[in-house]
Amino acid sequence: MRFDVLTIFPEMFEAITQYGVTSRAFSKEILHLKTWNPRDFTSDPRKTVDDRAYGGGPGMVMMVGPLEDALQAVQEDIASSSAMKKGPTVLMSPQGRVFNQDLAKEMSQLEQITFVCGRYEAVDQRFIERHVDFELSIGDYVVSGGELPALVVMDSLIRLMPNVLGDANSAQQDSFSDGLLDCPHYTRPENYKNFLVPGVLLGGHHGRIESWRRNESLIATQKSRPDLILAARKKGLLSLKDEKVLQEYLETLASGLNK
């Protein structure tokens, strides 16, 4: 896969290429990243990429020209350097579709993605209408620019690629991979200040361990994200055994509240 990023702060993307698990994808050339600074596509001495908004109001707006020229350079580079099919142009924006694990799985199948990282108050709507395939958000809040959200999305996609994680099962067991939150995890020591690792994890019975993990995943999801339980139920992802575990948990919770 190849990522192309339009950003006025290309240095920020060193974080994903040089550190941690994601750096493996680049060192193994599973993934390629190119950054494109709109300032390099300006003609004035100040390398201006923003201007005041028509109609007034606070903040500055990113101009169409530098972004459009940078995107054109991306398209020409892809066409000249490989037989790779150009993927979607994605604007990171709080107004976009909210990113989730299902979308991550879908996007991880693409050969190429161009991320547009806005700054200032907004991006000129004419660029969005002419070139952006869809807008993408990482949540209902606002940050200073699209770089951090793009890094979050890229990290999520990289984890799903073959030969990136040390254990291929890690991504499959992440929270949201099956519509639920992950179960609790423990490591040495077995006894830490009289807080013990659950005995079932020490017995070596794989069937019991898997059953415990499933039950704990269900309970954790019911506690923190009951909306995910409702969604899983609608999708038919919960078995009769799952429903029994949830019912017993809710009954135990209710009895404790009534004491």
Residue 145, pLDDT above cutoff 70: yes
Instruction: Tell me what pLDDT residue 175 has.
Output: 56
pLDDT over 90, % of the chain: 87
- 210: its two tokens: 């898997």
Would you state the pLDDT for residue 173? 53
Instruction: Give the pLDDT band of residue 174 (cuts 50, 70, 90).
Output: low
When pLDDT is averaged across residues 74-92 and rounded to a whole number, the result is: 92
Residue 178 pLDDT > 90, yes or no?
no
The residue with tokens 């390398």 is 47
**Order of strands across the sheet with 50-52?**
50-52, 60-62, 122-123
- Assign a CATH topology to domain 191-258: Trp Operon Repressor; Chain A (1.10.1270)
Kind plus residue range of the DSSP H or E element containing 60: strand 60-62
Clarify whether 111 is annotated catalytic. no
- Pair 2, 31: CB distance under 8 Å: yes
Q: Provide CATH 1.10.1270.20 ranges for the chain.
A: 191-258
User: Is 168 a residue whose pLDDT tops 80?
Assistant: no
Q: Let me know if 174 is a catalytic residue.
A: yes
CATH 3.30.980.10 fits 2-159, yes or no: no
> Which one is catalytic: 69, 94, 182, 213?
94
Overall average pLDDT of the 24-44 stretch: 95
pLDDT digits (tens, 9 = 90+) for 219-232: 999 999 999 999 99
Mean pLDDT of 102-128: 96
Question: What is the Cα–Cα distance from 203 to 110, expressed in whole angstroms?
Answer: 42
Q: Which of 40, 68, 69, 174 is catalytic?
A: 174
Query: Per the residue annotation, which of 40, 68, 77, 121 is the catalytic one?
Result: 121
Query: What is the tens place of the pLDDT at every residue in 96-109?
Result: 999 999 999 999 99
Residue intervals of the chain classified under CATH 3.40.1280.10 are: 2-159
Say how far apart CA 144 and CA 129 lie, in whole Å: 22
The whole-angstrom separation of Cα 17 and Cα 27 is 8
